[in-house]
């Protein structure tokens, strides 16, 4: 869906003086040649320490920043220098709860952004989204009065309501409780399979999302370090009589023969090098 | 059909404004205080020929100056203040990720404050007329309205440039502040520019407000029709036609530059 090749970005900080030294320009490299692919119907994870370049990459894809070098291929066209196109096709959760108007209610905020994002939209779409994300009863509450978890969900609602092709999620689950995370993850898993859609997500707790990701890229110092994908190897099944059995994915139907006796299942996963990347 | 996206900004700003009721009450009361201050000041001042050329008394002279120069300040300061507020709120990048044009963004920042300022001018003039004896000649008042529009637009150009400077340098307010103060000094807000020393007077001709206030005072206070003030109006229109497109192009270039530098949301 999107192919990124040799993407480079250096921040230029204009500072005339640093103490008594004349500095002028200071260059801070952020991306040093990133290659990755966001595939249709897949959830792609970005892993890396602080300063690895995850947020810079996401901002470029959201059309907020322009890269210095490299290409971003979308529908066979290089869109690296056309932030408007990237803006159009992406919905961005920047993990920043301040990016709303705190004097307005949740509903007023979402209505405002919808009017900017779309030429036509309906209040009923908005209401449906609030229901899915468990925000319906808080819709008329001033944004400043919402909890951090609700604010995080509001960001997700705003990005989804933009009807994007690619959902870019920068630390989307921070402050969201476990049960809501589960509901949201299930919803997004279904969402990504509809039409031409994809999700790119970064999180410091990526290990919690392993079973949810379709592939994963590791970044460090603005470079890819490894390109892995998570593959389901099999299922570890605990039966009612206390016996355990490991069944690989090819013979999974065996376990369903005794499905009424299954007490617990655990997916066995393995990270393998993605040769297609 | 695609609508010009300005209404969401007006709704947002109105809701934000009304969510601060105390500020709303005090800003309304301040109008009354301003009128009182200048009413009593005018009682203590003996007016000279230079004021009588534009107005029957100092109160009329200064109220027109104050009312219309605040519109100028709105044009000058609103955009840069909005950019700064959106950056510090953390909403600026999110606004730019919307499907809106630069002109829509600028108009969105501006419209509520402009409407608010027009209402404020009408309230100041109405209160001054009803309670403080201001005599307005409204027979050609549309001329003043046209003056106001073009004065506002010409100063808006400076405001847009100032906002562009803020986006790049993160500091632009001193520019607006300097222009604002110089405007008050040179363009005849509180006293006629003719009272300035002759070597300073040419600077007055660089400020659009000089022509605007002259035309508006002659029109609203002396009943001058368009035929007597068209020169001042033509200068304003000319300034606007040159400056406004240039300022929008500068703002767009500043946005693009900031996107490349990665400094859109920093302040």
Give per-residue pLDDT as tens, B2-33. Answer: 667 889 999 999 998 888 888 878 877 888 88
Q: Nearest Cβ partner of B97 from A92, A100, A112?
A: A92
Q: How near does any CA of chain A get to the CA of B244, in Å?
A: 24
Report pLDDT digits (tens) over B56-77. Answer: 888 888 888 888 878 778 888 8
Q: How near does any CA of chain A get to the CA of B89, in Å?
A: 6
Q: How near does any CA of chain A get to the CA of B255, in Å?
A: 10
Give the DSSP H or E segment for B238. Answer: helix B226-261
Report CB contact under 8 Å: A87, B99: yes
Partners of residue A68 in chain B, C-beta under 8 Å: 260
Tokens of B17: 């404004």
Report CB contact under 8 Å: A11, B95: no
Give the 3-state secondary structure of chain A: CEEEEEEEEEEEEEEEEECCEEEEEEEEEEEEEEEEEECCCCEEEEECCCCCCHHHHHHHHCCCCCCCEEEEEECCEECCCCHHHHHHHEEEECCCHHHCCCCCEHHHHHHHHHHHHCCCCCHHHHHHHHHHCCCHHHCCCEHHHCCHHHHHHHHHHHHHHCCCCEEEEECCCCCCCHHHHHHHHHHHHHHHHCCCCEEEEECCCHHHHCCCCCEEEEEECCEEEEEEEEEEEEEEEEECCCCEEEEEHHHCHHHHCCHHHEEEEEEEEEEEECCCC
User: C-alpha angle with apex A257: A256 to A258, nearest 5 degrees?
Assistant: 85
* Dist. CA A264–CA A266, nearest whole Å: 7
Report pLDDT digits (tens) over B140-164. Answer: 788 888 888 888 888 888 889 888 8
* Residues 55-114 of chain A whose Cβ lies under 8 A from any Cβ of chain B: 56, 59, 62-66, 68, 83, 87-88, 90, 92, 94, 96, 98-101, 103-104, 108, 111-113
Over 90: is that where the pLDDT of A16 sits?
no
pLDDT confidence of residue B53 = 79
Burial of A216 (0-12, 13-18, 19+ CB in 10 A): buried
DSSP state of B46: -
Report pLDDT digits (tens) over A227-274. Answer: 655 566 677 778 778 888 777 766 665 556 666 677 777 777 665 555
Q: How near does any CA of chain B get to the CA of A8, in Å?
A: 12
Interhelix angle A148-161/A178-193, rounded to 10 degrees, is 10
Under the banding of pLDDT at 50, 70 and 90, the label for residue A90 is very high
Residue of B nearest to A96 (CA): B90
Summarize the confidence of residues A159-164 as an average pLDDT: 90
Tokens of B137: 């000649």
Which residue did the predictor score with more confidence, A269 or B243? B243
Closest CA to B111 of B64, B152, B168, B164: B152
Which residue did the predictor score with more confidence, A156 or B173? A156
Q: Nearest Cβ partner of A119 from B2, B94, B256?
A: B2
State percent of chain A over pLDDT 90. 23
DSSP state of B91: -
């Amino acid at each position: 869906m999107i192919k990124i090749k040799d993407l480079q970005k250096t921040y230029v900080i204009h500072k005339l003086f640093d103490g008594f030294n004349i500095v002028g320009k200071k260059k801070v490299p952020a991306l040093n040649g990133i290659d990755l692919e966001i595939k249709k119907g897949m959830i792609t994870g970005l892993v890396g320490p602080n300063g690895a370049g995850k947020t810079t990459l996401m901002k470029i894809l959201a059309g907020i920043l322009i890269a210095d070098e490299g290409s971003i291929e979308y529908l066979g066209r290089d869109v690296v220098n056309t932030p408007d196109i990237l803006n159009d096709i992406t919905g961005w959760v920047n993990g920043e709860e301040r990016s709303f108007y705190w004097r307005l209610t949740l509903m007023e905020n979402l209505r405002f952004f919808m009017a900017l994002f779309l030429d036509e939209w309906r209040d009923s779409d908005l209401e449906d989204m609030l229901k899915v994300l468990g925000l319906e009863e808080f819709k008329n509450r001033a944004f400043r009065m919402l909890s951090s978890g609700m604010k995080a969900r509001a960001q997700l609602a705003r990005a989804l309501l933009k009807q994007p092709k690619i959902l870019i999620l920068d630390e989307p689950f921070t402050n969201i409780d476990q049960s809501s995370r589960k509901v949201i993850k299930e919803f997004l898993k279904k969402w990504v399979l509809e039409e031409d859609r994809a999700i790119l997500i970064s999180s410091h707790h990526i290990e919690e999302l392993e079973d949810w990701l379709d592939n994963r890229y590791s970044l460090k110092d603005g470079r890819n370090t490894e390109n892995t994908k998570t593959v389901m190897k099999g299922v570890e099944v605990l039966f009612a009589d206390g016996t355990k059995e490991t069944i690989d994915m090819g013979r999974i139907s065996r376990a369903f023969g005794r499905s009424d006796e299954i007490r617990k299942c655990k997916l066995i996963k393995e990270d393998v090098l993605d040769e297609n990347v | 059909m695609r609508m010009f996206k300005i209404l969401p900004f007006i709704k947002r700003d109105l809701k934000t404004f009304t969510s601060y009721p105390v500020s709303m009450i005090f800003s309304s009361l301040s109008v009354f205080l301003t009128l009182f201050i200048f009413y009593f000041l005018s009682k203590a001042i003996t007016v000279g020929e230079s004021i009588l050329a534009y107005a029957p008394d100092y109160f009329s002279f200064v109220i027109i100056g104050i009312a219309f120069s605040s519109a100028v300040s709105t044009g000058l300061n609103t955009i840069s203040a909005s950019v700064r507020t959106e950056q510090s709120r953390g909403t600026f990048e999110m606004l730019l990720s919307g499907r809106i044009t630069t002109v829509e963004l600028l108009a969105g920042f501006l419209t509520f404050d402009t409407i608010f300022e027009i209402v404020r001018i009408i309230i100041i003039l109405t209160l001054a007329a009803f309670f403080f004896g201001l005599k307005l000649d409204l027979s050609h008042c549309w001329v003043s309205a046209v003056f106001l529009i073009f004065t506002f637009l010409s100063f808006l150009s400076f405001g847009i440039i100032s906002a562009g400077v803020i986006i790049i340098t993160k500091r632009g307010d001193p520019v607006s502040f300097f222009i604002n103060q110089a405007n008050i000094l040179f363009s005849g807000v509180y006293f006629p520019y003719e009272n300035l020393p002759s070597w300073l007077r040419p600077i007055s001709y660089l400020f659009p407000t000089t022509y605007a206030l002259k035309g508006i005072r002659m029109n609203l206070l002396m009943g001058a029709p368009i035929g007597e003030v068209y020169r001042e109006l033509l200068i304003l229109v000319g300034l606007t036609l040159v400056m406004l497109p240039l300022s929008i192009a500068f703002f767009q270039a500043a946005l693009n530059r900031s996107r490349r530098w990665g400094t859109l949301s920093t302040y």
